[in-house]
A and B are shown apart, each in its own frame.
Chain A
Amino acid sequence: MSGVRVLVGTRKGAFILTSDGMRDDWKVEGPMFGGWEVYHVKGSPVDPNRIFASQSTGWFGQLIQRSDDGGATWQPAGNQFTYDGVTGTHQWYDGTPHPWEFARVWHLEPSLSDPDDVLAGVEDAALFRSTDGGQNWAELSGLRTHGTASAWQPGAGGMCLHTIIVSPKDPQRIFVAISAAGAFRSDDGGVSWRPINRGLHSEGIPDEDAEVGHCVHHIAMHPSRPDVLFMQKHWDVMRSDDAGDSWVEVSGNLPTDFGFAIDVHAHDPETVYVVPITSDSQHFPPEGKLRVYRSREGGHEWEALTKGLPQANCYVDVLRDAMAVDTLDSCGIYFGTTGGQVYVSADAGDSWKAIVHDLPAVLSVEVQTLA
């Protein structure tokens, strides 16, 4: 019988939540790497038993862990993330040049075709690739040495490369997003890059329509339509129908268009989910009501999904990598909160239940649909 394995990264370790296809009864395992921040855990689409985890602390730095048995056991992989060539500078918060400094891995993106091939998005923003299962990492330095890079500035959470999407139809096409530089696309496997921020409008930067400098929070794509992208920007929910060449706002009737997480239904590429957050200074849901919003029209028109979610006194946040979907016939939607809850909807968002209530603050949620 089919089932799901939910990979949860938290401030104090990783957890694995498993269930059968009904998604009613859950087994909770963890913490793995207890006490460490686990920014991201993601499995290989080719070999679901191979899972990568980004483990770090301010004390001991960055580790990459790898499991080859579905998370039962883990082995440290390589943790040498050395910028290629001249490091260069980006802008610091005060506008002065600041050398690139590696801090941590925010996101791991295993290849769609090779279990040994995995990309890593890091802070300070750069993209690394391993082709040997995470043992050795080499920077795809064309991104960090882009002509605009010296003008990139960190967001409040650091200058992080947090989103990596490889086109399922063309592995040479890679999308990344950086806070607060914006979105970028490579059409040659990561050798060269160009900003794809036309149409973004950010009031928080001096030139609201600048080529770079936008605080993109997350981007999602449906694998059947790799030219259609949905973006949760700092403010604004955006859509592109031309692989990022241009963007239009689709925030529509959302109660607020600030937020972090965004994802697309597994079987309907026009059904999109966001979790509106009050504002950039109030990182909790409006009115203390935790509501997922769903658009069935690819944006503009949104409906609140509330059944099973707290509708009073809820002041958690849902971070950018903390939403995921499974691919079961009745698409499951998952998200984690900074209050330590992980919610599941087994009916595409119509109703929700908490799988767990009291984990550490959830940083990331990924789902593996198992045969």
Chain B
Amino acid sequence: MIRVVLPAHLKTLAHVSGAIDLEVVGEPTQNSVVDALEARFPDLLGTIRDPATRKRRTFIRFFACEEDLSHDSPDAPLPKEVVSGAEPFFIVGAMAGG
């Protein structure tokens, strides 16, 4: 079970308040986690990855275990602490001023 934490706007869209416990089929990766998330919350489709390219949106970041995983391969295995549920997988809206 992967624990996923969404940014505030996406929590509103998904109608959730806290972390989401997510069952992921196969090896947990950025892509498989987002796939599972979109399957469970279809209103999130296109908000994390560009729907045409499936690439992470420019101002979305993936954090876990105090590391920025955003530039890792989206199909790379996630850290074992995330896979075990000990640490959450954070989907974060990048900081930007204005």
Contacts and interface: CB of A to CB of B under 8 A. Distances in A.
Interface of A: 35-36, 57-63, 76, 79-80, 82, 102
Contacts of A102: 52
Interface of B: 7, 9-10, 13, 43, 45-48, 50-52, 57-60, 93-94, 96
Given A36-B9, A76-B13, A76-B43, A58 B52 contact: no
Contacts of A60: 9-10, 47-48, 57, 60, 93
Given A59-B60, A80-B51, 11 more contacts: A35-B9, A36-B9, A57-B9, A58-B96, A59-B59, A60-B9, A60-B57, A60-B60, A61-B51, A79-B46, A80-B45
B88 to A, nearest CB: 19
Contact of A61 (B7, B57, B94, B96): B57
A63 B10 CA distance: 12
B46 A59 contact: no
Nearest to A62: B46
Given A57-B9, A82-B52, A63 B47 contact: yes
A61 B43 CA distance: 12
Nearest to B50: A61
B27 to A, nearest CB: 26
Contact of A79 (B9, B45, B48): B45
A137 B57 CA distance: 21
A80 B46 contact: yes
B9 A59 contact: yes
Contacts, number: 42
Interface centre among B43, B46, B48 (most CB of A within 10 A): B46
Contacts of A57: 9
21 contacts: A57-B9, A58-B58, A58-B59, A58-B96, A59-B7, A59-B57, A59-B60, A59-B94, A59-B96, A61-B46, A61-B51, A62-B46, A63-B13, A63-B46, A63-B47, A79-B45, A79-B46, A79-B51, A80-B46, A82-B51, A82-B52
A79 B13 CA distance: 13
A132 to B, nearest CB: 15
A35 B11 CA distance: 13
A36 B10 CA distance: 11
Nearest to B42: A76
Contacts of B93: 59-60
A102 B47 CA distance: 14
A57 B7 CA distance: 13
B42 to A, nearest CB: 8
Contacts of B45: 79-80
A102 B46 CA distance: 12
A45 to B, nearest CB: 27
Nearest to B47: A60
B82 to A, nearest CB: 22
A261 B71 CA distance: 44
B45 to A, nearest CB: 7
A60 B96 CA distance: 13
A140 B13 CA distance: 29
A348 B9 CA distance: 40
Contacts of B57: 59-61
- Which 10 pairs show the lowest CB-CB distances between chains A and B? A60-B47, A59-B59, A76-B43, A59-B93, A79-B46, A80-B51, A61-B46, A58-B59, A61-B47, A82-B52
